Amino acid sequence: MSTSEKLVQSPIHLLHRAGQCADEVFETELARAQITPRQYAVLNAVAANEGTSQTNLVEATGIDRSTLADIVRRLARKGLVQRKRTREDARAYAVRLTEQGRHLLTEAGPMARRVDERVLSVLSERERKSFMASLTAIVMKLGLKAADRK
């Protein structure tokens, strides 16, 4: 079996490639917004939990702690979020959207939905439901195990 044949039978490789394809579609669709898919995910998590800690954002997004801290710093430099030390724990940051961040999310929402639709458009309706259920199962079962190891 050739290397390329082995790769197309590897779920890890195929998930990675599918992620690359989705990232490319996202970057094309949201080029004006100048944010990455992970930044968009963090902005959505902050919007859903205004004033939440970065630790809670790690749990909400599945992004590792150091990467998430870097993403929040970049979003703060772009003026999309504010982060302030919490009163309860001087080491922790509370993160909030700025007006600019709220505006960007409002504008980017329809574009992100188009990305999702475009990515899923290659599948039939039945395949979409199965695909989403399978992805959810992988994240729920393996993601929880990864969080337990930390």
Q: What is the pLDDT along the chain (150 residues), one digit of tens a residue?
A: 766 777 778 899 999 999 999 999 999 999 888 899 999 999 999 999 999 999 899 999 999 999 999 999 999 999 999 998 877 777 778 999 999 999 999 999 999 999 999 999 999 999 999 999 999 999 989 876 444 444
What fold does the segment set 3-149 form as a domain?
Answer: Arc Repressor Mutant, subunit A (1.10.10)
**Which of 128, 136, 143 is closest to 63 using CA atoms?**
143
Nearest-angstrom CA–CA distance, 111 and 130: 24
Q: Say what the pTM is.
A: 0.84
Kindly report the length of the chain.
150
Phi, psi of 36 (to 5 degrees): -95, 165
Q: Which helix (H) or strand (E) holds 122?
A: none
Residue at token pair 């992988």: 138
pLDDT at position 148, please?
Answer: 47
Q: Which of 85, 92, 81, 83 is nearest to 47 (CA)?
A: 81
Give the residue from 59, 32, 38, 14 showing the smallest Cα distance to 150: 59
